[in-house]
């Protein structure tokens, strides 16, 4: 089968590989029916993910149909339509038992698919720990509706959960890229008094205004003044930083009111300054990523109930054989792209 492969820094190419087979009793083999491209794939391409192994098939956002399962798999069976979790986790270690699955101590735990082991931008993928890594998609939910459950939507859901959003809160979300929008959707479920989105791109601002007219929008230069004018206690009660650019960490804590929660969802290329003298007395609580992707069943239930809809994020569709063109559009942010659905 043809597999889109990380060859070396700066280069992804097609490689012909054998179809994967079950290797461990808890494995499953999934036929990929729909996948997507994530900014993290680009990080691998550009060499900013040192643990990424050259030669692996890339891609960690996907849904598919189970072809085979190992003898120790209990919850998933061949023929099931499933979401695939970006995180591999054993479900049994100290961290898994406490819901901190991102810190699973299993040697294969964490972000493995499409990074350290073969991922999903191909025909078939081997998923270790299938009982925790796969979730059955309800019959009434389409592949497109479920496509982002295992990665960016899990991230948005987790961010909204740990940020302890309350109904009286003014919430600031910095960044309206795909993960920012997923964070917005999951924050809306908490029904805070007000949500403000800060974004620079005119296309993304239009996207928010068109799909979520009840959300207030500001740009980075005006953000601090805007947030102060639209919050009750001199700043946002909760800030979620989902942009990860040079100035957005500072913006996040500056826009927070005293005793606010500031959740850093973004992944930065560079270290960030925590200027404690400047924020002394503000008594902020910081929470940091990455995602504990253990809420996928609950998220699928919310999609089934019509409470979360990420399909507006899919702005482009390509067959797998045209994935190079899809990467070109996604990487260069052409043509108003948010997310691309790649059909297998």
Give min distance, CB of 280 to Zn ion, in A: 36
Give min distance, CB of 90 to Zn ion, in A: 4
Residue 90 contacts Zn ion per CB under 5 A:
yes
**Nearer Cβ to Zn ion (12/89):** 89
Q: Which of 143, 144, 117 is nearest to 129 (CA)?
A: 117
Q: Which of 334, 243, 313 is nearest to 36 (CA)?
A: 313
Q: Which of 235, 34, 205, 212 is nearest to 125 (CA)?
A: 34
From the centroid of its chain, how far is CA 12?
A: 21
Give min distance, CB of 104 to Zn ion, in A: 3
Residue 296 contacts Zn ion per CB under 5 A:
no
- Out of 62, 63, 84, 96, the residue judged to bind Zn ion by CB under 5 A: 96
* Stretch in the footprint of Zn ion (CB under 5 A) among 3-11, 85-93, 162-170, 325-333: 85-93
Report residue 154 as tokens. Answer: 């899990």
Please give the residues from 124 up to 153 whose contact with Zn ion meets the rule CB under 5 A: 151
44: three-class secondary structure by DSSP: helix
Residue 115 contacts Zn ion per CB under 5 A:
no
* Stretch in the footprint of Zn ion (CB under 5 A) among 51-59, 103-111, 224-232, 331-339: 103-111
- Out of 32, 76, 104, 342, the residue judged to bind Zn ion by CB under 5 A: 104
- Cα-based distances in Å from 167 to 193, 212, 306: 6, 18, 21
Q: Which of 106, 137, 167 is nearest to 33 (CA)?
A: 137
Q: How many residues line the site for Zn ion (CB under 5 A)?
A: 8
Distance CA 57, CA 19 (A): 12
Residue 40 contacts Zn ion per CB under 5 A:
yes
* 251 sits in which H/E element: helix 248-255
Q: Which of 222, 105, 240 is nearest to 177 (CA)?
A: 240
Give min distance, CB of 93 to Zn ion, in A: 3
53 DSSP assignment: P
Distance CA 251, CA 114 (A): 32
Residue 252 contacts Zn ion per CB under 5 A:
no
**Nearer Cβ to Zn ion (59/192):** 59
The interface mask with Zn ion, positions 10-39, x = CB under 5 A, is ----------------------------x-
Distance CA 325, CA 37 (A): 12
Residue 26 · residue 92 · CB < 8 Å: no
Give min distance, CB of 326 to Zn ion, in A: 15
Give min distance, CB of 343 to Zn ion, in A: 19
* Stretch in the footprint of Zn ion (CB under 5 A) among 50-58, 84-92, 115-123, 291-299: 84-92
* 160 sits in which H/E element: helix 152-162
**Nearer Cβ to Zn ion (43/200):** 43
Residue 264 · residue 241 · CB < 8 Å: yes
321 DSSP assignment: G
Residue 249 · residue 145 · CB < 8 Å: no
Give min distance, CB of 207 to Zn ion, in A: 19
- Out of 2, 7, 22, 93, the residue judged to bind Zn ion by CB under 5 A: 93
**Nearer Cβ to Zn ion (38/76):** 38
Give min distance, CB of 179 to Zn ion, in A: 8
Q: How many helices (H) and strands (E) does the chain have?
A: 12, 17
* Stretch in the footprint of Zn ion (CB under 5 A) among 12-20, 51-59, 90-98, 330-338: 90-98
Give min distance, CB of 275 to Zn ion, in A: 30
Residues that bind Zn ion (CB under 5 A): 38, 40, 89-90, 93, 96, 104, 151
């Amino acid at each position: 089968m043809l597999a889109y492969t990380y060859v070396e820094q700066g280069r992804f190419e097609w490689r012909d590989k054998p179809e994967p087979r079950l290797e461990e009793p808890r494995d499953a083999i999934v036929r990929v029916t729909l996948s997507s491209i994530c900014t993290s794939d680009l990080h691998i391409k550009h060499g900013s993910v040192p643990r990424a192994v050259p030669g692996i098939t890339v891609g960690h956002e996907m849904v598919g149909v189970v072809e085979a399962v190992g003898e120790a798999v209990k919850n998933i069976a061949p023929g099931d339509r499933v979401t695939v979790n970006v995180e591999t986790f054993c479900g049994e270690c100290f961290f898994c038992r406490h819901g901190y699955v991102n810190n699973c101590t299993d040697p294969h735990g964490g972000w493995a698919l499409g990074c350290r082991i073969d991922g999903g931008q191909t025909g078939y993928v081997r998923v270790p720990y299938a009982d925790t890594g796969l979730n059955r998609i309800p019959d009434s939910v389409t592949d497109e509706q479920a496509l982002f459950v295992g990665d960016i939507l899990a991230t948005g859901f987790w961010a909204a959960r740990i940020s302890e959003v309350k109904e009286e809160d003014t919430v600031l979300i910095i960044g309206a890229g795909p993960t920012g929008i997923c964070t917005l959707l999951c924050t809306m479920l908490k029904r805070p008094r007000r949500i403000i989105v800060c974004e620079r791109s005119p296309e993304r601002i239009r996207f928010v205004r068109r799909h979520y007219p009840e959300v207030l929008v500001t740009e980075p230069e005006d953000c601090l003044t805007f947030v102060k004018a639209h919050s009750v206690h001199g700043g946002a009660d909760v800030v979620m930083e989902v942009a990860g650019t040079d100035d957005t960490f500072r913006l996040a804590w500056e826009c927070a009111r005293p005793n606010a929660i500031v959740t850093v969802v973004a992944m930065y290329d560079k270290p960030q300054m925590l200027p404690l003298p400047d924020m002394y007395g503000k008594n902020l609580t910081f929470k940091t990523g990455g995602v504990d992707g253990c809420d996928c069943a609950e998220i699928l239930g919310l999609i089934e109930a019509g409470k979360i809809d990420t399909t507006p994020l899919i702005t482009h569709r390509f067959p797998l054989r045209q994935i190079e063109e899809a990467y070109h559009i996604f990487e260069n942010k052409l043509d108003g792209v948010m997310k691309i659905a790649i059909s297998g």
